[in-house]
Structure 1
Amino acid sequence: MADAEKRKVGDRGQVTLPKRLRDAFDIHGGDEVTIREEGDRIVIEKPTSREELAEGYRRRADRHRELADETATLSREANDQLGDAPEWKE
């Protein structure tokens, strides 16, 4: 585990996240984090915001549109070069 830091757990079960991690993950006082078990580990994550999730879906939709346009262009080019498919004879 790179750059691991030890922290003491307070009497009430509280742990302070290191400042460099709070800065790196844009976590501020009052923000919510998700804490879960993963095998024999405790994982603390910053939840994905609705805005971040929506932006991810927008980027994915844009990429799908780009691929559909590219496929349509390639299909037109193939039709122009090859013409209609020949009749199959058995």
Structure 2
Amino acid sequence: MPGAEKRTVGERGQVTLPKEFREEFGLHGGDEVTIRKESGQIVIEKPVSREDLAEGYRRRAEQHQALADEMADVSQEANDTLGDVPEW
């Protein structure tokens, strides 16, 4: 598997995450992670922070607003070019 590294599970069930992974995902000592089973595999995830979630919602809202603005412009352009369209 690309990006996979073998690690040994210690006597107490502990595994050290590779430094490369910790740096890439911004994990530091004391950070919490979520561990779950999925399709016969163990998945370790960095929980989404409230700030990251809020930023995602802000970006999505900006995308929706940009699309709404574009559609309004296209609609206005169509009205200007074709004139009023009859109500059917």
Give the TM-score normalised by the residue count of structure 1. Answer: 0.91
Aligned to 1:48: 48
Looking at structure 2, the residues matched to 22 and 10 of structure 1 have their Cα atoms a distance apart, in angstroms, of 19
Q: How many residues align?
A: 88
Looking at structure 1, the residues matched to 72 and 15 of structure 2 have their Cα atoms a distance apart, in angstroms, of 55
Gap runs ≥5 in structure 1: none
Gap runs ≥5 in structure 2: none
Looking at structure 1, the residues matched to 25 and 72 of structure 2 have their Cα atoms a distance apart, in angstroms, of 40
RMSD: 1.4
CA drift of 1:40 comes to 1.1
Aligned to 1:15: 15
Looking at structure 1, the residues matched to 41 and 75 of structure 2 have their Cα atoms a distance apart, in angstroms, of 50
Looking at structure 2, the residues matched to 41 and 87 of structure 1 have their Cα atoms a distance apart, in angstroms, of 57
Q: Which runs of 4+ in 1 moved over 2 A?
A: 85-88
Percent identity between matched residues is: 70
Q: Which has the larger radius of gyration?
A: 1
